[in-house]
């Protein structure tokens, strides 16, 4: 088993959708790169904002749909999604903001209280920028803010409605295979169990800049192909799931000195991509998608399979879908709603 050093690197990656799914290691472009070079330019020329897909003042993030390469004569140009996110403060560097004579602009002063705009130096003012290019209509819909609805999916609903719908979709997960085959991001792997059936790689999620532990976020991606989601799990997969839970916690303890009882370890259902993966987040971090309608604790998944081999084939599962999601309409029709 290899324990390879992980280094931060800039690159484009699709992000996990919406409030339930913020930016992260959930989806990614199909291009191949080893993660060793820092890109200093965008993969297109020009960017004209066509539409603001979504923004959040609380999370300090904005999702932009833009037209690019318009000057190249390619008709109306191509579509791209750019996600801009303010990065968290780093405790060890925050004092630099107030040293000497900081660049300040007074907003108001009243008795002992005053408010300023502070303009930080360049090295402390970075904006995390994620690029999805070229972007398809599916990507644009994915990042567009929409209302949500809860739906309860029975085992029969999954087999007769959800699974056929998923198989008709075409979002690539080539980026997952690139990681597993060391064609991309090999230097970011924190831990690997190379067993083809019961092994996995552990890699930092892009929601986490690796500069502080408060929002620690890693993803375990299994080597074994063909396991789409929670619905596919049977007792046959227990050795894999136990390895991920035990070895993932041990690797995080060794690398980051964060013990297992300070971690939230869970699977998403529905997941944002259909290759089995497990989320490891700091317990105090309210990670996107960690709510009760989407997150399933891995320890409880293991226990459920030990008690009932067909638990996830038969159990009714509740999750949220966007109002415009075709799957919501299909499931509602199947349930006579």
Query: Catalytic residues, which ones?
Result: 277
Cα four-point dihedral sign 77, 38, 210, 218: positive
Helices and strands, number each (H, E), in the chain: 8, 14
Dihedral, CA of residue 298, residue 175, residue 82 and residue 75, to nearest 10: -150
Q: Which two tokens stand for residue 231?
A: 């619905």
**Spatial contact of 243 and 199, defined as CB atoms under 8 Å apart:** yes
The three state secondary structure string of 210-258 is CCCCCCCEEEEEECCCCCCCHHHCCHHHHHHHHHHHHHHHHHHHHHHCC
**Spatial contact of 229 and 269, defined as CB atoms under 8 Å apart:** yes
Q: Which of 80, 77, 46 is nearest to 64 (CA)?
A: 80
What Å distances lie between residue 308 and 71, 235, 302, 304, 311, CA to CA? Answer: 60, 9, 10, 6, 5
Q: What is the DSSP letter of 264?
A: E
Identify the burial level of 198 via C-beta atoms within 10 angstroms of its C-beta, where 0-12 means exposed, 13-18 middle and 19 or more buried: middle
**Spatial contact of 196 and 223, defined as CB atoms under 8 Å apart:** yes
Distance CA 247, CA 280 (A): 12
């Amino acid at each position: 088993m290899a324990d390879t050093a992980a280094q931060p690197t800039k690159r484009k990656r699709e992000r996990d959708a919406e409030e339930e799914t913020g930016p992260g290691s959930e989806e990614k472009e199909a291009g191949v790169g080893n993660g060793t070079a820092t890109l200093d330019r965008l993969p297109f020329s020009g960017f004209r904002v066509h539409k603001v897909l979504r923004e959040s003042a609380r999370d300090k993030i904005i999702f932009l749909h833009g037209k690019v390469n318009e000057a190249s004569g390619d008709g109306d140009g191509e579509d791209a999604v750019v996600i801009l996110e303010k990065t968290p403060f780093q405790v060890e560097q925050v004092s630099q903001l107030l040293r000497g004579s900081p660049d300040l602009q007074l907003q108001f002063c009243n008795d002992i209280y005053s408010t300023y705009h502070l303009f930080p130096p360049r090295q402390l003012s970075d904006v995390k920028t994620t690029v999805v290019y070229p972007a398809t209509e599916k990507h644009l819909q994915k990042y567009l803010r929409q209302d949500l609805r809860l739906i309860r999916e029975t085992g029969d609903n999954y087999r007769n409605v959800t699974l056929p719908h998923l198989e008709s979709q075409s979002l690539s997960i080539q980026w997952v295979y690139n990681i597993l085959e060391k064609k991309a991001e090999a230097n970011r792997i924190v831990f690997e169990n190379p067993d083809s059936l019961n092994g996995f790689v552990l890699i930092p999620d892009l929601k986490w800049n690796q500069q502080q532990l408060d929002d620690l976020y890693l993803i375990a991606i299994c080597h074994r192909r063909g396991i789409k989601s929670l619905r596919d799990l049977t007792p046959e997969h227990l050795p894999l799931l136990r390895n991920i839970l035990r070895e993932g916690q041990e690797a995080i303890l060794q690398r980051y000195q964060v013990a297992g009882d300070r971690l939230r370890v869970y699977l998403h259902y529905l997941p944002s991509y259909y290759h089995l993966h497990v989320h490891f987040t700091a317990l105090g971090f309210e990670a996107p998608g960690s709510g009760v309608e989407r997150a399933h604790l891995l320890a409880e998944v293991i226990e459920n399979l030990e008690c009932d081999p067909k638990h996830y084939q038969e159990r009714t599962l509740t999750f949220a879908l966007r109002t415009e999601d075709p799957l919501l309409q299909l499931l509602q029709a199947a349930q006579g709603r």
